[in-house]
């Protein structure tokens, strides 16, 4: 096994952005916390979060050739060239990374919609706050983020088939996950916003039809969305 991914086993969460890259590239990887055996399982993951050099603040993190790399966008920055999912030019790579960091911002905000008070409490204990936060997220933030992604597709000199350059990158894969996520969590608000971003929807559809991604989505390795992840469907938060 070349790559060992460490992330919570029962949800898509931030780990899913890394899984999609590994799956699209057909990489030889192990989703360690989902396996059983010695040096596997959730214990193997939490064990690597202290007492070793350069341990990460939080999952996901990746182990490769004796290195540990944390932070979703940094993992993808590392994996991109190795998996053939990033451009060759340094400045193009930085642009791709900048797009991914903006994905991370959207993901953090999507999480905070159901946890506006903090991660230490259940959703049920912060519902009034979540109702208020969801309103702004639906009406202002989802459209603002999706419009920005649409604009990038629109302005790509190599055409709107990809975010950067003329071939598939890890950020294209992340766009698939973002569209799926907002559709799952906020079906009404997402439908409204996505009507204005046809190129983003077309990209999502192309990614869904990539043979490796299609096989992954049909497999047990793709955990369904659920109410432990980043994108959670609480009907009262949508409108």
- Where does this chain bind its own copies (CB under 8 A)? 50, 53-54, 56-57, 67, 69-71, 73-74, 77-78, 91, 94-95, 97-98, 101-102, 105, 108, 112, 116-121, 126, 129, 132-133, 136-137, 140-141, 145, 148, 151-152, 155, 157
Least Å distance, CB 60 to its own copies, is: 12
Alpha helices in the chain (DSSP H): 15-24, 41-47, 72-83, 90-114, 127-136, 142-155, 170-185, 187-194, 198-208, 211-218
What is the nearest approach in angstroms of its own copies to the Cβ of residue 163?
11
> What's the CA gap between 188 and 135, in Å, rounded?
12
We find the least distance from the C-beta atom of residue 137 to its own copies, in angstroms, to be 7
Cβ proximity to its own copies, 152 vs 182, nearer residue: 152
Q: Which is nearer to its own copies, 43 or 125 (CB)?
A: 125
Using DSSP's 3-state secondary structure scheme, residue 146 falls into: helix
* CB nearer to its own copies: pick between 36 and 91: 91
Beta carbons of 86 and 168 less than 8 angstroms apart? no
How many CA atoms are closer than 13 Å to the CA of 108, on its beta-carbon side? 9
Residue with token string 């994996």: 79
The nearest distance, CB 52 to its own copies, in angstroms, is 9
């Amino acid at each position: 096994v070349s790559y060992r991914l460490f992330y919570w086993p029962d949800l898509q969460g931030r780990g899913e952005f890394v899984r999609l890259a590994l799956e699209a590239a057909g990489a030889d990887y192990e989703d360690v916390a989902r396996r059983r055996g010695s040096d596997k399982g959730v214990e193997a993951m939490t064990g690597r979060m202290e007492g070793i050099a350069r341990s990460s603040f939080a999952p996901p993190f990746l182990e490769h050739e004796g290195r540990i790399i944390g932070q979703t966008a940094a993992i993808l920055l590392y994996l991109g060239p190795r998996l053939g999912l990033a451009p060759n030019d340094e400045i193009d790579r930085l642009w791709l990374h900048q797009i991914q960091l903006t994905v991370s911002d959207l993901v953090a905000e999507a999480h905070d919609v159901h946890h506006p008070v903090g991660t230490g409490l259940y959703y049920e204990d912060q519902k009034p706050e979540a109702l208020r936060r969801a309103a702004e997220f639906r009406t202002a933030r989802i459209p603002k983020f999706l419009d920005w992604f649409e604009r990038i597709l629109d302005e790509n000199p190599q055409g709107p088939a990809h975010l950067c350059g003329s071939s598939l990158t890890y950020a294209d894969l992340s766009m698939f996950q973002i569209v799926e996520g907002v559709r799952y969590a906020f079906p009404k608000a997402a439908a409204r916003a996505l009507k204005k971003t046809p190129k983003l929807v077309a990209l999502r559809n192309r990614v869904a039809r990539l043979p490796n991604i299609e096989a992954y989505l049909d497999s047990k390795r793709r955990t369904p969305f659920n109410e432990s992840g980043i994108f959670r469907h609480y009907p009262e938060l949508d409108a």
